[in-house]
Structure 1
Amino acid sequence: MGIISWIIWGLIVGAVARLLLPGRQSIGLLWTIALGVLGALIGGFVATGLLGIADYDDFDLGSFLIAVLTSVVLLGVAERTGIAGRG
């Protein structure tokens, strides 16, 4: 997957994670993308490597849901610790 695809995928995953997390998140677009890409990477590893439910090359609903869940957790940690910054 190219870098542009990863950025778009990270934005989608990060945006869905932000919608699912209660309250208002004070992070910008770049942090949303970064947390989404990181969540997608971790979720993809978990889905393919540990659970064996996804494919490396194709879209898979299970790996997408795991990526979103991972991004929600990362977003919650980033908000609580202040890593993502304020404002």
Structure 2
Amino acid sequence: MWAIISALIEGLILGGIARLLIPGKQDIPVWLTMVLGMVGAIIGNLVAHLFGVADTRGFDWWRHAFQLGAAVLLIVVVAPVWGARKKS
């Protein structure tokens, strides 16, 4: 149960930070931001493992950078598609 709660919180935080970093308005709901943040966290973890920086001493700056980068990329790709879908 704690894993689900922490994934939701991490997704919300990553998605929120990602939306703040992207200029302009992203016309997507909060729940989609959370989902994209969670997916970004998963993708970022996989990339960090590929580069061998997933588990380091102290704070995992690289892992979190990869997670945030993936969340930003997902929101940049999904937001226009979501907005166009709503207008149709």
- Normalising by the smaller structure, the TM-score range is 0.7 to 0.9
User: Aligned residue for 1:24?
Assistant: 25
Identity %: 42
Contact 1:13/1:36 (8 A) holds in 2: yes
Root-mean-square deviation over aligned CA pairs:
2.5
List structure 1 segments (4+ residues) > 6 angstroms apart after TM superposition: none
* Length-normalised TM-score, structure 2: 0.84
Aligned-partner SS, 1:23: coil
User: Aligned residue for 2:68?
Assistant: 68
Measured against aligned partners, the alpha-carbon deviations of 1:32-81 in whole angstroms (never above 9, x if no partner) come to 11000000000000001x100112xx851111111111111100110232
Contact 2:41/2:68 (8 A) holds in 1: yes
User: Aligned residue for 1:46?
Assistant: 47
Aligned-partner SS, 2:28: coil
Q: Once the 2 structures are TM-superposed, how far is the Cα of residue 86 of structure 1 from its aligned partner? A: 4.5
* Length-normalised TM-score, structure 1: 0.85
* Count of matched residue pairs: 85
Structure number with higher helix proportion: 2
User: Gaps spanning 5+ residues in structure 1: where?
Assistant: none
* Cα pair distance change 1:84/1:19, threshold 3 Å: farther
